[in-house]
Structure 1
Amino acid sequence: MTTTRFAPSPTGFIHVGNLRTALMNYLIARKAGGTFILRIDDTDPERSKEEYVDAIKQDMEWLGLHWDRVERQSDRLDRYAEAADKLRDMGRFYEAFETPTELDLKRKKQLNMGKPPVYDRAALNLSEAEKEALRVERGNGVWRFKLDHERIEWTDGILGDISIDAASVSDPVLIRGDGQVLYTIASVVDDTEMGVTDVVRGSDHVTNTATQIQIIEALGGTCPRFAHHSLLTGPQGEALSKRLGTLALRDLREQGVQPMALLSLMARLGSSDPVELRSDMAELIEGFDVNRFGAAPTKFDVQDLFPLTAKHLQSLPLSDVSDAVTEAGVPADLAEPFWAMARENITTLGDLKGWWELCRDGAEPLIADEDREFIAEAMALLPEGPFDGNTWGMWTSAVKEATGRKGKGLFMPLRKALTGMERGPEMATLLPLLQMIRARG
């Protein structure tokens, strides 16, 4: 059975980059009728916060990305310790004691010699006495996985055939000196024991994937299918990393972005398929194919979310937005005609309040001097009511016949006199609503 996972660290809020990974894994699982695991990567006790765990769940629920089960890596430390012991027994795990400064000097020396800046495995030459002396002097060392220096190959679901020479990669640190288990080994143990079959993540993990493949094989596991999506850039191709803090999902939600607008964009962005607004999750699932995504950096512009949000809102019945209409101050008996008017003229639900205030309080009429006699004559022809969807057409026809005005010269002065604006809602919809509001006093 297909099993995927999303493994965020609860050290901050989910942003659009995280969402891309979460959504792809979710859609793969759902399309195959499989399992989607939310796995909280909380092995860092200092940086992991419970408030962020709650926020991650809230954001995913807002988007409708419902998980089948939750796992927490902090509950599985004993499993990682067992895997570490197994690697030690195999001679694939060794303790190293270099300080960050020493490692930096080694890298610089290698680069100056035209060599790749790869850890030189000096720790393998230490005697037990030397190790003990270093522990006394510096504390416990880090634990590195000893890579087999051979080519690591796999067929990536997005990047195609990948081949990496393990000799060009440093032996990865899997456990820090303070005992903290790092993602590289925790993820391998979890993916193996939880039966994860497909892993989609950012292309910045390609080298990490190569090392994890060797760790999986060393521990006797089965490698999942890997796919590495491109990284997002800003609209001009600039690095997005510095702006991700302003692109948290909760910030987008506060700006009025609708879930289906965000999901529709992220489910297609960077693929060979055009971005199209989808009406529900079932459509997104049906149309998703990870193999249709490309390797090139993908431009993301937050402004693209607002036309999609507006289009989505236009499709919704009052029942789906009734809370927002009520919050805008609209009385229950006017909610239906108000929404019929406003839905075509808002970008986000936050715009409803302004439209209600305009309808309720009216606007200063905009009447040009040359139009004053025309407006007075037109107003005299306005029927008593009640108004309906035909009133505007009947009234403007009568005004046209009486004054000879037509086209823009007819409609624009009337709109400006009634609404104080040159453009806005369909007057056939707005006029009955204005009359109902005036009738309420």
Structure 2
Amino acid sequence: MTVAVRFAPSPTGHLHIGNIRTAIVNWLFAARHGGSFMFRLDDTDEERSTQAFADAIAEDLTWLGLTWDRYARESDRYARYADAAEALRTAGRLYPCYETPDELGLKRKAMLAQHRPPIYDRAALRLTDTDRARLEAEGRRPHWRFKLNHSDIVWDDLVQGHKHFRGADLSDPVLIREDGRPLYTLTSVVDDLDFAITHIVRGEDHVTNTAVQVQLFEALIGIMGQGIVPTFAHLPLIAGSEGEGLSKRLGSLSVRSLRQDEGVEPLALIAYLARLGTSDAITAAGSMAELAEGFDFGKFGRGTPKFDSDELMRLNTQVLHNAAFADVADRLTAMGMVGVEEAFWLAVRPNLTRLSDAKEWWAVTKQAVTPMVDDAAFLATAAGLLPAAPWDDTTWGVWTKAVSAATGAKGKALFLPLRRALTAHDHGPELKTLLPLIGRERALARLSGCTA
């Protein structure tokens, strides 16, 4: 069996880290087993779904390198869902209900008051044709529920282990709204069957949905005469640093904000979320292939993992420090560092937390800097001892040795005034690599207290 997975977000907001973690886990699992990854938009919520959000989701996936093999959107498949619904009606598994939301709310409150589970009482099944005609004459339009059988529902979850539900404890789910539009429970199952999805990987908040959908899978498979019930894996949900839940509607830790505002590298975010909540140490990875090779559902724990932005940025730093010039050259150029060379990258790379930090050091090497002058006489002596060009990574050592001999300054008293004058910073990249990039003309001007 060839593994086939899907990521099926709703385009009703920007993806947060919980959403994208699901996509990452699906992608890595498929890559580990040579399978396919499908990007499918659950966009039947027409009031809240927008093309802008759909485009943003695709952009986030592309930025992360989560390429997809197949693509579909549910809004293009209404005819298929209507066919499936009609087949369920014919089989006696889909029935019309006429209660209003207020009436259902009252029933729910009454059951809870009696300490009974608030499941639908199937009152609609007791309606006669005359009853239904009368209700429709009053202007009521039915919503349609799937009739569960009351047998046990079991499956072996790849993360949570053996799962067991009693069908009698579950409420018949609504599959079709009053306006005729299908709901997620139906569209998802129909799509998973039609696209031959073998594994459904999602958050543990879907466990009860899965119990219902297992029976819907079985019903449609029986009607269609083909297909299989997928294997399930339900991941613990990620919480914020204070244990709070994440919400796409609230924009909690959105992928877009991490990318645009925090400067997080794609591979850092993928490595972090792929290993969060597992027995693996959270360390930087060299590639997606490396992460896929070590992927195993058996490594996931059952506890709630908490997102730690400090740990993510630590990982981000590791990724940048390991990045080759070829991996970042185009991005550096796009930031305005025209003509950037590998020597610059190798000089500043060890001091970066975000790639955008490189702009600061580009300015130090290529643009005007106002030097920090602590001791003008000391700097004048140092300026007089500057070696002739050309400079290389030995120039700093030769020069500081001569300055020390002339002034008696050593250690911090020697190096800090020179750094402050040359870079206008108290710390930064090693000056043996940065000094040749600054160049003799700029260095001489800055040691003289001039903006250069």
Could you state the TM-score of these two structures normalised by the residue count of structure 2?
0.90
Quick check: 253-262 or 52-61, which moved more? 52-61
**Do the aligned partners of 1:97 and 1:138 also contact (CA within 8 Å) in 2?**
no
The amino acid that maps onto 1:63 is L
Deviation at 1:437, TM superposition (A): 6.8
Deviation at 1:146, TM superposition (A): 1.3
1:387 aligns with 391
The reply to whether residue 356 of structure 1 matches residue 362 of structure 2 is yes
Which aligned segments of 4 or more residues in structure 1 are displaced greater than 6 angstroms?
Answer: none
Secondary structure of 2:38's partner?
A: strand
**Do the aligned partners of 2:246 and 2:252 also contact (CA within 8 Å) in 1?**
no
**Do the aligned partners of 1:15 and 1:244 also contact (CA within 8 Å) in 2?**
no
The amino acid that maps onto 1:59 is D
C-alpha spacing 1:54/1:177, structure 2 compared with 1 (3 Å): same
Q: Partners of 1:182 and 1:154 in 2: how far apart?
A: 24
How many positions carry a matched residue from both structures?
A: 438
Secondary structure of 1:196's partner?
A: coil
Secondary structure of 2:154's partner?
A: strand
Unaligned runs of 5+ in 1: none
Deviation at 1:212, TM superposition (A): 0.4
The reply to whether residue 398 of structure 1 matches residue 402 of structure 2 is yes
Cα-to-partner distance string for 1:404-439 (whole Å, 9 max, x where unaligned): 332223222322232222111111011111116739
The amino acid that maps onto 1:60 is L
Q: Partners of 2:87 and 2:282 in 1: how far apart?
A: 48
The reply to whether residue 269 of structure 1 matches residue 276 of structure 2 is yes
Deviation at 1:167, TM superposition (A): 2.2
C-alpha spacing 1:416/1:161, structure 2 compared with 1 (3 Å): same
Q: Partners of 1:76 and 1:365 in 2: how far apart?
A: 65
The reply to whether residue 296 of structure 1 matches residue 296 of structure 2 is no
1:338 aligns with 344
2:59 aligns with 58
**Do the aligned partners of 1:359 and 1:437 also contact (CA within 8 Å) in 2?**
no
Q: Partners of 2:324 and 2:280 in 1: how far apart?
A: 29
Secondary structure of 2:245's partner?
A: coil
The reply to whether residue 245 of structure 1 matches residue 251 of structure 2 is yes
The reply to whether residue 226 of structure 1 matches residue 232 of structure 2 is yes
Unaligned runs of 5+ in 2: 446-451
The amino acid that maps onto 1:424 is G
Deviation at 1:246, TM superposition (A): 4.6
Deviation at 1:92, TM superposition (A): 1.9
Q: Partners of 2:171 and 2:441 in 1: how far apart?
A: 72
Q: Partners of 2:414 and 2:428 in 1: how far apart?
A: 16
Quick check: 142-151 or 204-213, which moved more? 142-151
1:366 aligns with 372
**Do the aligned partners of 2:237 and 2:304 also contact (CA within 8 Å) in 1?**
yes
1:10 aligns with 11
Match of 2:312 among 305, 318, 339: 305
The reply to whether residue 317 of structure 1 matches residue 321 of structure 2 is no
The amino acid that maps onto 1:299 is K
2:381 aligns with 377
1:109 aligns with 110
C-alpha spacing 1:78/1:324, structure 2 compared with 1 (3 Å): closer
Q: Partners of 2:253 and 2:319 in 1: how far apart?
A: 21
Cα-to-partner distance string for 1:158-185 (whole Å, 9 max, x where unaligned): 1111112222221110111111111111
Q: Partners of 1:171 and 1:240 in 2: how far apart?
A: 28
**Do the aligned partners of 2:12 and 2:249 also contact (CA within 8 Å) in 1?**
no
Deviation at 1:19, TM superposition (A): 0.9
The percent identity for this pair of structures is 51
Deviation at 1:373, TM superposition (A): 4.3
Quick check: 160-169 or 263-272, which moved more? 160-169
1:416 aligns with 420
**Do the aligned partners of 1:44 and 1:180 also contact (CA within 8 Å) in 2?**
no
**Do the aligned partners of 2:16 and 2:247 also contact (CA within 8 Å) in 1?**
no
C-alpha spacing 1:437/1:159, structure 2 compared with 1 (3 Å): farther
Q: Partners of 1:14 and 1:375 in 2: how far apart?
A: 53
Could you state the TM-score of these two structures normalised by the residue count of structure 1?
0.92
Secondary structure of 1:241's partner?
A: coil
Q: Partners of 1:273 and 1:107 in 2: how far apart?
A: 44
- Report the aligned-residue RMSD: 2.3
C-alpha spacing 1:143/1:331, structure 2 compared with 1 (3 Å): closer
Match of 2:411 among 407, 412, 420: 407
1:257 aligns with 264
1:427 aligns with 431
